[in-house]
A and B are shown apart, each in its own frame.
Chain A
Amino acid sequence: MAWFIAKRAVALALTLVAASLVVFGVLEVLPGDPALLILGVNAREDTLAALRESMGLDQPAHWRYLAWIGGLLTGQLADSLTYDVPVTELLVPRIAVSLPLALMALTLTVALALPLGVLAAARRGRAADGAIMGASQLGIAVPNFWLGILLILLFAVTLRWLPSGGFPGWEAGVGPALAALIMPAVALALPQAAILARVTRSSVLEVLGEDYMRTARAKGLSQGEALWHHGLRNALIPVVTIMGLQFSFLLAGTIIIENVFNLPGIGRLIFQAIGQRDIVVVRDLVVLLAAMVGVVNVLVDLSYAVLDPRLRRGHLRGAHG
């Protein structure tokens, strides 16, 4: 088991290094001079040179890369070009928005999709199955930002139950903060729940056709008992894979949703930073997002080992006849 984790951790580290190299490389190629950006077009050449020198822009590329990685690992991130404060300061309040939003969306997705997917499979071909699959077909086709706009139209503009956007901050109390996050979370979650429900349904259907389910029925278990005791755990394995992928879709989704609801989160920050060519913020955030996705993927792999003993205990039977 330990070997299993070690292998996954090394793979994650390698992927992150590769990701950081790619991001660094892409931003190096970026046209435009950060110093010019900060001091404006009509700054004098010597002040520009001094600024570049202080930011170490004149150092060779590999030095700057190592310095950047050093900073990342030790937590001292460079100053943002636009706000002239360390990126960490920009980051912390925004994580307090984006992370709860992503977690709320993921919980909503799973809470909606799993029961509906299993129900649709158990009632295959009947009304419940048709309705759930129809709704999920629609859910997949709806762009999350349009859903956000519709939610604003309904709950904020017409019914005035919820704020139409913005974020009061956690200091203003959990209630108002959550109220500001509900609609964005729903907008993010519904399309993902539609996808997860379909995956769950097809996974359960496949499991229902397996021989060991027939063995369970032959033992005297009812359809429901066989599904509960034998089916669900086997059906979960492919579902967990999709959940891992969906977490990265959710993160990406925050970029747009935080724009629709103008929430001060990571998504909005990275969008603005890209717009303003603030390569320092962009670099750090992209690697942070990639790290979050990477960690989730490792967690998904670990849950495989928990769910499926064949991975834990290795494979005694060789494949060659």
Chain B
Amino acid sequence: MVETPTPTAQTMGGRRLAATAWAGGAVAALVLLTALVSLVWTPHDPAAMDVANKLSDPTGAHPLGTDHFGRDVLSRLMVGARVSIAVSLVAVGLGAGIGVPLGLLASARHGWIDEAVMRFNDLAFAFPALLTAVLITAVLGPGAVNAILAIGIFNIPVFARVARGAALSLWTRPFIQAARLAGRGRTRISVEHILPNIAGALIVQGTIQFALAILAEAGLSYLGLGSQPPEVSWGRMLNEAQTFLFLDPRLAILPGLAIVVTVLGLNLLGDGLRDRLDPRLDTRRADGGR
């Protein structure tokens, strides 16, 4: 029987989650805004050194104080946001742009293409993600572009796997059979039927991968493999701050907080989107099966 699902307390909780999603979204938007603003304006020139009052505590002129070369920490954090978001956005875009079509192709065409994509995935997952990134940036040389490539590459199998998994379960659904009976080809079905129905899952995965990419970029920069000076990145700020840990811990704390806030915002946004975009359709076995 098509049982009308009785509303249970679980669905009632939906609204509460939405609030944290909005908070997450707001935080993420704020960081994005800061990054954009830093393109045109920062309180001080992030590279301008003022060795006279280096390692100064927060003052009127320098709300977050200065670093070991007297540079304004707030300005550097703002510019660091730009690098972090740019690298992560492009890397995730690269991962999704290649991974999703691969996943869709694998689910549409059974047989050797599916096998090939899956083997590629197994291979990619054999290497710990960061190791691949370190290897690639080392081979191609450090720098923001190579960091994008490195992080992007290990995003491809993630999106391929999510897209393939979600698509596979749809291919047996009756509305896809009906589309085949309506003379629609596999590619057209993949784009017009499958993609919109797995968009929810992909967007949710996207926000998670975006957050992971920010952590990965920070890690690579910390190791000196990310963007190189004079570009500023949160990861390298942390690296430099570590040597002054005894003198001025503030320098080590602030960039880390920036990373945590950004990633936290994205994860909360992802959770909120998951419930709204990808509600678990209550497809309890509807056929009476008598």
Q: Which residues in A have their C-beta under 8 angstroms from that of B139? A: 26-27, 29-30
Closest residue of chain A to B224 (Cβ to Cβ) is A275
Contact partner of A293 among B127, B222, B238, B242, CB < 8 A? B127
Interface 1/0 per residue, B230-261 and A, CB below 8 Å: 00000000100110011001001101100111
Question: Is the CB of B102 closer than 8 A to any CB of chain A?
Answer: no
- Assembled-state Cα–Cα distance A142/B211 (Å): 10
Q: A146-B256, A290-B126 are in contact. Are A274 and B263 (CB under 8 A)?
A: no
Closest residue of chain B to A256 (Cβ to Cβ) is B219
User: Per DSSP, are chain B's interface residues mostly helix, strand or loop, or mixed?
Assistant: helix
Q: Would you call B260 and A157 a contact (CB within 8 A)?
A: no
Q: Would you call B131 and A150 a contact (CB within 8 A)?
A: no
Question: Is the CB of A249 closer than 8 A to any CB of chain B?
Answer: yes
Q: Which residues in A have their C-beta under 8 angstroms from that of B263? A: 140-141
Q: Would you call A137 and B267 a contact (CB within 8 A)?
A: yes
Contact partner of B126 among A138, A143, A293, CB < 8 A? A293
- Assembled-state Cα–Cα distance A140/B129 (Å): 16
Q: A15-B123, A22-B123, A29-B139 are in contact. Are A289 and B131 (CB under 8 A)?
A: yes
Q: Would you call B256 and A149 a contact (CB within 8 A)?
A: yes
Q: A141-B211, A153-B252 are in contact. Are A259 and B264 (CB under 8 A)?
A: no
Q: Which residues in A have their C-beta under 8 angstroms from that of B174? A: none
Nearest chain A CB to B119 CB, angstrom units: 8
Contact partner of B135 among A142, A152, A153, A286, CB < 8 A? A286
- Assembled-state Cα–Cα distance A89/B8 (Å): 62
Q: Would you call B223 and A255 a contact (CB within 8 A)?
A: yes
- Assembled-state Cα–Cα distance A282/B138 (Å): 11
User: Per DSSP, are chain A's interface residues mostly helix, strand or loop, or mixed?
Assistant: helix
Q: Which residues in B have their C-beta under 8 angstroms from that of A15? A: 122-123, 126
Closest residue of chain A to B262 (Cβ to Cβ) is A141
Q: Which residues in B have their C-beta under 8 angstroms from that of A81? A: none
Question: Is the CB of B130 closer than 8 A to any CB of chain A?
Answer: yes
Most buried by B among A16, A30, A251, A256: A256
Nearest chain B CB to A218 CB, angstrom units: 18
Interface size class of A (residues with CB under 8 A): 35 or more
Contact partner of A19 among B123, B223, B246, B255, CB < 8 A? B123
Q: Would you call A252 and B223 a contact (CB within 8 A)?
A: no
Q: Which residues in B have their C-beta under 8 angstroms from that of A88? A: none
Most buried by B among A149, A255, A260: A149
Question: Is the CB of B201 closer than 8 A to any CB of chain A?
Answer: no
Contact partner of B218 among A143, A153, A249, A271, CB < 8 A? A143
Contact partner of A289 among B128, B256, B259, CB < 8 A? B128
- Assembled-state Cα–Cα distance A29/B136 (Å): 12
Q: Which residues in A have their C-beta under 8 angstroms from that of B260? A: 138, 141-143, 146
Q: A142-B260, A256-B222 are in contact. Are A149 and B131 (CB under 8 A)?
A: no
- Assembled-state Cα–Cα distance A253/B130 (Å): 7
Nearest chain A CB to B51 CB, angstrom units: 24
Question: Is the CB of A231 closer than 8 A to any CB of chain B?
Answer: no
- Assembled-state Cα–Cα distance A1/B54 (Å): 67
- Assembled-state Cα–Cα distance A143/B217 (Å): 10
- Assembled-state Cα–Cα distance A274/B220 (Å): 13
Nearest chain A CB to B278 CB, angstrom units: 13
Interface 1/0 per residue, A294-311 and B, CB below 8 Å: 100000000000000000
Nearest chain A CB to B177 CB, angstrom units: 14
Question: Is the CB of B108 closer than 8 A to any CB of chain A?
Answer: no
Q: Would you call A249 and B123 a contact (CB within 8 A)?
A: no
Nearest chain B CB to A17 CB, angstrom units: 10
Question: Is the CB of A234 closer than 8 A to any CB of chain B?
Answer: no
Question: Is the CB of A18 closer than 8 A to any CB of chain B?
Answer: yes
Question: Is the CB of A99 closer than 8 A to any CB of chain B?
Answer: no
Q: A143-B259, A290-B126 are in contact. Are A255 and B134 (CB under 8 A)?
A: yes
Residues of chain B touching chain A, judged by Cβ–Cβ distance below 8 Å, are 9, 13, 119, 122-123, 125-131, 134-135, 138-139, 211, 215, 218-219, 222-223, 238, 241-242, 245-246, 249, 252-253, 255-256, 259-261, 263-264, 267-268
26 A-B residue pairs with CB within 8 Å: A16-B126, A18-B119, A22-B123, A27-B139, A29-B139, A125-B13, A140-B263, A141-B261, A142-B256, A143-B219, A143-B259, A146-B218, A146-B238, A150-B253, A157-B249, A249-B129, A252-B130, A259-B223, A271-B134, A274-B135, A275-B138, A286-B127, A290-B126, A293-B125, A293-B127, A294-B126
